[in-house]
């Protein structure tokens, strides 16, 4: 496969050799805005995260249509039309508006008409994207168009954003604001659970004490993990330097009705059902990888929580009057049940019990504000070292993102699936779960040196869902 072409330097801006300082950088200029502490952290060498969003389409891709619409959507947002410039004197960074040539950001894949396996080609192409970074001499985003038919779709596009532009929720909202319902071409899509979010509520002395206890225990474990407490070494635990290696991205869809059946039968949440299925799938995978049956191991996920007050789809601007933009996420450490269970439903029960404790605590909010405090007192390098150690000492990152409930189009192209993910994280395994129409996508990002058989892991998750579903029907 051809390597991903490098991005050209903007002709209107003169740069130094390393692209760090620009002729247009003038201290105190009215149009300059500083990067937030969280955004600045994502420029540290060992914390250089990128968000990607793979979208499959039921119709052939039209590059000119994408380019024309991106000019009127993405480029209305200052973050997508500004450079991120570093002040060498103090290490701070600022947004500086610049002229954007859309052709520098839309990359059309060169395709061999005699490709034997289009599915494998697309998978390899996306993996190859994770080997590269976007040059800081231009706004830190791009779009890759692969106008090739696979077994599931007529064409694939891959949006790539540097994490400093925003977190997954804000960037997903930007993408969805660029879509419309198939049933109503003028209407934005609808997201499930589109309501105000708030802190956990307590209704009695006992629940108040339980809330405080859960918070204290969670924070104690978080600090131990940041210092030394590491998960058990397993075939899914990454080694040092994993954040600098290429990733493999695999998307596996399951029936939304099957997940809902488990949810209703066990009276749990959607997240509980998904986590239970994932835990059961991990046990199946590790049981086949090791001579001894997995049990009594420390196996944890760093789960990502959205701290915004609302999850509604917003417009393209970044005025942030409602907290839409930025990196407003907290982390929570979630223990996984990786042991044999005679009853497959026990995996869902354990997930439900763990999530109840996490919801009755302030752990995500603490990790967010504590990281900002460390950054303010000691700088970005120390804050990154803290969070990176927590991520590395756990086994995986886990995130659940709600998607549209109805079929949508993007710039006139009918969307078959949406699959967000990341690379650059110090974990060998990252799972995003996103719902769309009647499907639930498990989007798996792995370090292939650690997990070379990603499709086998997907098979085990899918088989676990079948077993859990069958168990609910016989219970």
β-pair type (396-401, 429-436): parallel
Give the pLDDT of residue 327. Answer: 82
* Cβ pair 190, 404 in contact under 8 A: yes
Q: How far apart are CA 157 and CA 147, in angstroms?
A: 8
- 199-229: pLDDT as tens digits: 445 456 667 788 888 888 988 999 999 999 9
* Cβ pair 375, 41 in contact under 8 A: yes
Give the pLDDT of residue 320. Answer: 52
Residue 131 lies in a domain: no
The model's pTM is 0.88
Q: Cα–Cα distances in Å, from 179 out to 60, 70, 403, 436?
A: 16, 12, 12, 13
Residue 331 lies in a domain: yes
Residue 283 lies in a domain: yes
Q: The domain spanning residue 370 has which CATH number? A: 3.30.559.30
Residue 132 lies in a domain: no
Tell me the sheet residues that pair with 408.
181
Angle 371-373-376 from CA coordinates, rounded to 5°:
110
Q: How far apart are CA 317 and CA 335, in angstroms?
A: 38
Q: Summarize the confidence of residues 96-111 as an average pLDDT.
A: 93
- 17-37: pLDDT as tens digits: 333 333 333 444 445 788 888
Element spanning 129, H or E: helix 118-129
Contacts of 134 (CB under 8 A, 6+ apart): 7, 50, 140, 141, 142, 160, 162
- 377-414: pLDDT as tens digits: 998 899 999 999 999 999 999 998 888 989 999 999 99
Which of 253-262, 319-328, 392-401 bottoms out in mean pLDDT, i.e. has the lowest? Answer: 319-328
Residue 290's pLDDT band, with cuts at 50, 70 and 90, is confident
Residue 247 lies in a domain: yes
Residue 169 lies in a domain: no
Residue 215 lies in a domain: yes
DSSP H helical ranges for 73-113: none
Closest CA to 420 of 158, 156, 193: 158
β-pair type (396-401, 300-306): parallel
Domain count across the chain:
1
Mean pLDDT of the chain: 86
Q: Catalytic annotation on 163?
A: yes
Contacts of 245 (CB under 8 A, 6+ apart): 447, 448, 449
Choosing from 105, 163, 375, 432, the catalytic residue is 163
Residue 142's pLDDT band, with cuts at 50, 70 and 90, is very high
Residue 66 lies in a domain: no
64: helix, strand or coil: helix
Is the pLDDT at 12 greater than 90, yes or no?
A: no
Q: What residue numbers bound the domain in which 303 lies?
A: 205-403+425-474
The rounded percent of the chain whose pLDDT value lies above 70 is 86
């Amino acid at each position: 496969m051809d390597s991903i072409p490098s991005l050209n330097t903007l002709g209107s801006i003169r740069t130094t050799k390393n692209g760090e300082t620009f002729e247009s950088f003038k201290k105190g200029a009215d149009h300059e805005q500083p990067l937030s502490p969280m955004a600045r952290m994502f420029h540290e060498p060992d914390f250089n995260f990128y968000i990607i969003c793979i979208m499959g389409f039921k119709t052939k891709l039209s590059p000119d249509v994408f380019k024309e619409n991106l000019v009127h959507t993405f480029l209305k947002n200052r973050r997508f039309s500004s450079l991120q410039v570093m002040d060498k004197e103090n290490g701070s960074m600022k947004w500086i508006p610049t002229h954007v040539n859309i052709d520098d950001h839309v990359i059309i894949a060169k395709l061999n008409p005699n490709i034997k396996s289009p599915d494998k080609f697309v998978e390899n192409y996306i993996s190859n994207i994770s080997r590269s970074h976007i040059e800081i001499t231009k706004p830190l985003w791009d779009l890759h168009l692969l106008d090739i038919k696979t077994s599931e779709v007529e064409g694939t596009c891959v949006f790539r954003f540097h994490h400093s532009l925003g977190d997954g929720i804000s960037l997903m909202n930007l993408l969805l604001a660029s879509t419309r319902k198939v049933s109503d071409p003028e209407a934005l899509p609808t997201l499930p659970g589109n309501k105000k979010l708030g802190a956990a509520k307590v209704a009695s002395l006992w629940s108040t004490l339980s809330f405080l206890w859960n918070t204290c225990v969670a924070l104690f474990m978080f600090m131990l993990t940041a210092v030394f407490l590491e998960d058990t070494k397993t075939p899914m635990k990454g080694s040092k330097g994993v954040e600098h290696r290429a990733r493999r991205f695999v998307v596996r869809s399951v029936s939304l009705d099957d997940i809902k059946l488990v949810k209703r039968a066990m009276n749990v949440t959607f997240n509980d059902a998904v986590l239970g299925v994932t835990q059961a799938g991990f046990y199946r995978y590790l049981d086949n990888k090791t001579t001894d049956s997995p049990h009594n191991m420390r196996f944890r996920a760093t789960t990502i929580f959205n701290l915004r007050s609302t999850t509604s789809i917003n417009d393209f601007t970044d005025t942030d009057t409602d907290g839409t933009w930025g990196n407003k996420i907290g982390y929570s450490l979630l223990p996984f049940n990786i042991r044999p269970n005679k009853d497959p439903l026990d995996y869902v029960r354990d997930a439900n019990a763990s999530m109840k404790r996490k919801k009755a605590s302030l752990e995500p909010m603490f990790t967010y504000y504590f990281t900002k405090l460390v950054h303010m007192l000691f700088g970005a390098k120390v804050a990154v070292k803290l969070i990176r150690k927590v991520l590395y000492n756990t086994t995986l990152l886990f995130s659940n993102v709600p998607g549209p409930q109805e079929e949508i189009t993007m710039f006139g192209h009918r969307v078959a699936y949406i699959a967000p993910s990341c690379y650059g994280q110090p974990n060998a395994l990252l799972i995003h779960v996103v719902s769309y129409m009647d499907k639930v996508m498990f989007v798996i990002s792995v370090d292939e040196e650690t997990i070379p058989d990603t499709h086998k892991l997907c098979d085990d998750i899918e088989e676990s869902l079948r077993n859990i579903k069958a168990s609910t029907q016989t219970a």
